[in-house]
Each structure stands twice: as C-alpha cells, then as structure tokens.
Amino acid sequence: MKVQNLLANVPPPSGKLEHPNERYQTKYKISPKAKVKHLNKLYKTNYNVACADVIKQMKSSKRLMAKQNYNQLAIALKLTTNIHLVALMGTQQTLERKRTKIRPNYVASVKNKRSNRRKSLHRT
C-alpha cells in the first residue's frame, strides 16, 4: 500500500467517517461503543501502515540524497504531515471494501447466557 497512491485520491476531510452500518441494514443492533472501538482499530492499523511507508521512503531518500539532491526527502516530509489524512482515508477504504459488519460482543452474550442459567437454577 503506497502512501502516494492513497494520497492521490484523498478528498478534503469532511470530519466524520461514514460507517457502512448507517448505509446497509444489518441483522444486529450495534452499540455505538463497539462501532467507535472498531473504527479506532481500523484507523490505528492504517496509521501504522502509513507511518511505516513514510519511514521506508525517508530511509531510501537518505540513500538517494547524494544523487538526487533533496527532492525525495522533501516528498517524504510532505507525506509525514499527511499521515493522519492517509490513515483516515485508509479506514474509509477498508470500510467500503469490506462493508464491515461489527459483530455483537460475543463474550457478553455468552456471559448473559451463563447468568441467565444461574438465575433459572435459583428460581427452582
């Protein structure tokens, strides 16, 4: 995933990320907390990818500096300022690509079942 390719189609930041669950109906009711958690996770991974890419570019540009003055480094530095944007764009893209459905918290449902079982035992 090249940072430059991503930056080529970065729209002006509109603030909020649109989440597929708003557009497509899902079987589950998703808690806003889970939604935020999921988006944050996606954002974090995309942010890390973008960072790694920029670091790689900066390293290669330092090697190239003797040959190609500062052009490459300037590009890399320009990219670092846009990492946040790239990460946002990446999350948007992954959401669109996967049309992700955040599954309800499985562990919580199991816990509920267990507690219900216990309650029914007490009743008898």
Task: Map out the domains of the chain as residue ranges.
Answer: 3-123
- pTM exceeds 0.75 for this model: no
Contact predicate 90/50, CB 8 Å: yes
- What's the pLDDT score for residue 56? 75
Burial (CB count within 10 angstroms: exposed 0-12, middle 13-18, buried 19+), residue 10: middle
- Give pLDDT, residue 115: 61
Q: What is residue 24's predicted lDDT score, i.e. its pLDDT?
A: 46
pLDDT of 100 reads: 47
Per-residue pLDDT of the chain (124 residues; tens, 9 = 90+): 455 555 555 554 445 555 555 544 455 566 777 777 777 777 777 777 777 777 777 676 666 555 555 555 556 556 655 666 666 666 666 666 555 454 544 455 555 665 666 555 555 4
- Which pLDDT belongs to residue 1? 47
